Structures are given as structure tokens and as C-alpha cells.
Structure 1
């Protein structure tokens, strides 16, 4: 009787292992992070300033000096436009993502404008 029980457990474990091999992501798949791709836009500084005043000053301050959020006055010296675009789109920590409230082109324009702050 013990032989049948043990062989049943072994058979079940083998089936489970085979199923998991084909359903779990592989090593390369689990490390892939989908980054939003930044669209090509021509910088419109006045439009970017308007968006920043409407969406960002409550946390980053009216001069981007920081407050609840970090200081952005020299963000361009530490982050590229693409990195800023990804951060603004997806959000991070307590910062919300703006991909649902702003158009991709608006976020790209703000990212380019902020990247010039060095």
C-alpha cells in the first residue's frame, strides 16, 4: 500500500514540475521591464511650463525647489529626457504616474524641458 501512495506522490510531483516548467517565466523573461518609449517632439517651453504649473508645483514647488517631492532645479544633470519621461509616465513611490492624465507628447515635452535644467 505504501508503494502505491509513494508512487502516486512521485507521479503528481513530476506532473506538477512539468506544468511549472512550461508556465513559469524563464530567466530572460522575468527581468524584462517594459519602459514607455518617448515620442519625438519639438520642445515647446511655454507649454511645458504651463503643464508643470498645473501638475507639479503642488509637490515640487513653484520654483521646482522641492517640497513633498524632490528638487527638480538641476534634474537634467542626473537624468536623461528618456529617464524623466519614464518616471513621469509610470510614477515612483508616492509620485503618481501621469500616463492616464497627460498625452504622451505632453509628458515628452515636459521631460525635455526638465532635462534642460542643469
Structure 2
């Protein structure tokens, strides 16, 4: 049983490496604060979607579909940086956080 499991794990890791799954991600590029270079919606999908939903409808976290009519971009960035309620601080940081805040502020 242990040999079968080991063979399965080794085979999976070889397959992932062959498909590119074993490669390291490229280091993030400095944008110098230029949030236009970062896609806020894409960062949302990577970092926020699991709690706030595919369509901003909420789930474990509150709905964000109209958050821009309630909070300013600065307020949204403050929540991202400092957390609020059950949301921990700094889920995303830097230009990514700024891009998400900007994108969410446009959701009205």
C-alpha cells in the first residue's frame, strides 16, 4: 500500500513538472505604485473570491457588489490593509491591494 501511494505521488510530481506545474512563479515586478499595471479584478479572483463570491455576492465574507457606493477607495484599501470583522489584514498588499481597492470602488 505504501509503495503504491509513493508511486502515485512520484508519478504526479513528474507529470506536474512536465506540464509546468513544478516551475516557480516569476517574481512580481515593481510597478512603482502604478495600479493600472495590476488588474484589480484578477487579483480579486486570486485572493478574495473564496470568501466574497464569484460575482461579489458574498459567502463567508460580505457581498461586495455595491461596495463602491458605501465605501471610498481609501476606505476599501484601509479594510484590505487592516482587516475587519472576520477578515484578516493584508490578504493582498502593495500595488495588488491598491488595484483591488480601485476596482472594488467602481462596483456601485
Q: Note the aligned Cα RMSD (angstroms).
A: 2.0
Matched, 1:69 2:64: no
Deviations 1:1-30 (A, max 9, x none): xxxxxxxxxxxxxxxxxxxxxxxxxxxxxx
Q: Distance in 2 between matches of 1:55 and 1:93?
A: 17
Runs of 4+ in 1 over 2 A off after TM superposition: 39-44
8 Å CA contact retained: 2:81, 2:93: no
Aligned to 2:105: 115
Q: Distance in 2 between matches of 1:112 and 1:59?
A: 19
Give the drift of 1:42: 4.1
Give the length in aligned residue pairs: 77
- Segments of 5+ residues of structure 1 without an aligned counterpart are 1-38
Matched, 1:54 2:46: yes
- Give the TM-score, by structure 2 length: 0.63
- Segments of 5+ residues of structure 2 without an aligned counterpart are 1-31
Matched, 1:82 2:74: yes
Q: Distance in 2 between matches of 1:42 and 1:49?
A: 12
8 Å CA contact retained: 2:72, 2:105: yes
Q: SS at the partner of 2:71?
A: coil
- Give the TM-score, by structure 1 length: 0.58
